[in-house]
Every structure is written in structure tokens, then in C-alpha cells.
Structure 1
Amino acid sequence: MNESKKRWQLLVIFNVVCLAAGWWYSHGHAAPPETKQPFANAVQQREAMIRLLQESNQLLREQNQLLKSGKLKVQVSESQ
């Protein structure tokens, strides 16, 4: 029983030390400072382009549905 209690104590101490080291690394001087990247993030640019293309495709689908429905009336008038 005594050996088991010592193991648990060592495990708890080890966990506390690991948590303290992680906290110190993330909040202290050991962690590298976050710097602004000199170039644009290509992944974010691609995501924005894909989102815009999907929106354009949706608008084109709506226009095609309107044209195919026959509910569209076109009036031509001369400009002055």
C-alpha cells in the first residue's frame, strides 16, 4: 500500500511540474514572440477566392433558372 501511495504522489508531482512548465513556456519568455508574416497567407487567400467563386456560381445558377423558366420579359427601348 505504501508503494502505491508513493507512485501516486510521484505521478501527481510530475503532472504539476509538466503543467507549470507548459504554462511558463506559453506565458513566459521561453515562447517565441508572435510576429506578423511578411507575406499574405496563401491559404486564407485561396479560401476567400473559393468562397467568392461559389457565390458567383450560385448567382449564375439563379440567373439560368430565371432564363429557363420563361418568366423573363425583355423590353428594348431606344435611348435619347
Structure 2
Amino acid sequence: MISPTELRKNIYKILDQVLETGQPVEIKRRGRVLRIVPAEPVDKFQRLVSRPEIIQGDPEDLVHLVWEVDLDLP
């Protein structure tokens, strides 16, 4: 939560932060809370981090693999 004075000092930085993160900013003035939020909700899928080390699929497919063939084991 920030004060109106802090908002006034950093208005453009705070607005850019709200637009980039989608996280609202709360301002407390005279005992009441105001909230700055983006007009459109941020798509959760756009914020997902790529994780190439994760395998997507059915775990049952791993049970029936023949590992010796894939690893060239005798």
C-alpha cells in the first residue's frame, strides 16, 4: 500500500508496473483504500514460464518403455 505522495512522485512508474504485472496497486488516503487495476485481465497463460525440462504426457507411457533399447544396453 502506498501513500498519495508516493503515487504522485512515481505515477508513471507505478502505472507501468500495474500494466506489466497485472497486479493492482493500493493507495491509502484519509483512511480509505483506492486501487489501481488494469482494465483487462492478464491472461495467465502468457505469464507461464517455458520449462523445457518438463515432459508432458501420460505417465503410463513411461511404464511400458524398453529402456535397454533406448540406452543401447546389452
TM-score, normalised relative to structure 2 = 0.26
As a proportion of its length, which structure holds more strand? 2
More helix by share: 1
| Structure possessing the higher relative contact order (Cα contacts under 8 Å, 6 or more residues apart) | 2
